[in-house]
Structure 1
């Protein structure tokens, strides 16, 4: 009896312990579920808060974008109006420049007589006396009495070639010559400006291969001869005279300048610049890279002898090109970021015109900056090369004044 009682007590005890164990397990699981529910509720609240903040941020962003779009439209409108005003101002400046002639002055001789304009009627005795003084005043180098007063019109013919190059017309014929690039041994010849303008590129031209390479867009064509610069590495600069009809070099002149010296800072490819006008052949150059000013040399077209040399006092800095008219050098300036080209410095070999007395003369705004400008004394026109475009500037001239 006693063992059965012990067995029953042991079994009851075991059942009671298991019940407590499972109850504890259930309590633990319930607590874990409650904890998970609390965390889920926390993350749900967090997600709801983030969603609300995202909606608010989206709303603020949308309002800011709408405000920026409105301000952008207003700014674009202001810029468009400013561009229109600038364009109108440039047109007005071009008109004023076309109506305004640059002033000029003459160097005082033994005595200087005032008169209002060239050719005013005065007494015959005074005219004879002043005529003698005039001959004495301008007898040294140039007999030409014209000065540039404005740009009458602009004609853009076409675009043939790269950004840098040169084109010109022989003053004694109708033939046109094109130099594409900054160096080479070939040039292209057209029978006339009309033939060149009607051609596609250089098609229809006569290709002329030279016996040596030309350096820089500073060549000149004058009276059937081509004058070009030849310069190899570590050698002196040479001016070459080439007979276009005979197809041969007729003369070479050495010119002692530094190999790294260039005449225009904005066009470093221009080693030197040859120019032809009513008085003959000129050479614009820089003796050394440390020389701040452009120098001018008068050359004999037949022998290439140097007749006279001047320091023009026109700085090389920001210069892009230059040309010579009646013994007067006109230096064209620009900026590193191309804007409107302007004639800012003059030099007259007879000292009848000084740069300080002449106002700025602006070129009509075009594509970039000039790689070259070549004057034709027969037509009184400039042949310009601007970013690959061939342009003709028709000039307005007037007589030099005594003041």
Structure 2
């Protein structure tokens, strides 16, 4: 029996991995967040460039690849979050993930409704996707921009928590939008259902992995490698189990498992962390390049001046308002509050979920809302593209101008 190998697909994967490693190398050399180079590489091989990658070449595997990749990325970010650091962090974190998130949600929906003329369904769906700043983008920024620990913790925690809740909120709204039969209590139930399933699954998987690492005796030379592989498996398995029960519960499961394991007394912790960071960089490179390759400039240009106005309102008015309200009396200087305000790029989760929603809206029979699908995808990708290129690409310069970079002295 012969085994058929798709050499074109192998070459494509090799090219994407090669571009990802190159982007990481350039990011380290020039001290610029890697996502900027990843976006450029993705656009270059996408339909707007060399047309090597398109939505057809990605096929239905896109959502699966992105889902598992995001699980690994979110797990790694949550693993590095220490409970004591979060507990002792400024009150700003609590406000950013509650009051701030609510302000961002309703403010974004109103902006999209007024400036783009979207239906309320689409406006709220866009708002849910754009509530969160992405840990997939924040992490590379903080890797090259050294700021005070309280500032870094606030940005990372906001990104991880809001990424989870925003993804669940978006899937609940989409379900309600397509079913058209949910009562108000139904929204709360669906949200709690997915969040609860994710947290429960994450805790169980974390407990199993902790037991295997700490209670099962292994040869000394095999123990570090086994610990690394078990933690990687924890991210993927927690995501797969929870997501197979309720869509989008997997992200909450991965975050819970990562945070729980990261705060348990694990042997070989530093080895695990270094391994996870390396895997995350590779996965981050792959997913960002593929998603950037799916950007169609025609859909972005179709939004016109109104689309740019939406981006301006969200980044220059709404985000600073949310941050300044949330950080009032939180121990941050004005310069630090401005830095948090102007470093709020969106990441992979909204891009992947928006792509999934758009495909479903177009492919239903008859199509549910093809015009709404284009507006949804165009708006989300435009905000991601601008915030990643400007806010992530120039984060170090923004920090330098505001004088918030910490020195090693």
Give your verdict on TM over 0.5.
no
Which is helix-richer, 1 or 2? Answer: 2
Larger RCO (CA under 8 A, 6+ residues apart):
2
Give the TM-score normalised by structure 1.
0.23
Structure label with greater radius of gyration: 1
